[in-house]
Amino acid sequence: MIPVLNVGVATPEQLAHAHLILAVFDKDLGPASADDLMGQLIIPLMDYNTQGDTFQHFSGKLLLNGTLAGELQGDLRIVWPGNDGSRPEPPHKMMQPNRCCAVQ
């Protein structure tokens, strides 16, 4: 499944100053152990500030406490609402819940 994230910015100019922070956690089994942070990746959205039907590739280093913890890659697409404020339905099943905020 592909997550759909609603970012709290209203214009391409605002998005150019926003970043997507991906935090990767493991999933422990059982109540005795909490999920552990495995690393974070920060994606500046200025490079993905275009509207289109195509996905753009990203890749970067996953860091944990300033140390390389791995690499992460994927594809993302920016979809702006229509002039009437409507948002197109995603062409895939949406993951729930998503936890997203814009960092400027």
Q: What is the pLDDT of residue 20?
A: 86
The 10s digit of each residue's pLDDT in 52-79 is 667 888 999 999 999 999 999 988 888 7
Distance CA 80, CA 94 (A): 17
pTM value is: 0.70
The amino acid at residue 16 is A
Please give the residue that has the higher pLDDT: either 77 or 33.
77
Q: Which helix (H) or strand (E) segment is 13 a member of?
A: helix 12-15
Cβ atoms of residues 39 and 62 within 8 Å: yes
Cα 49 from chain centroid (whole Å): 13
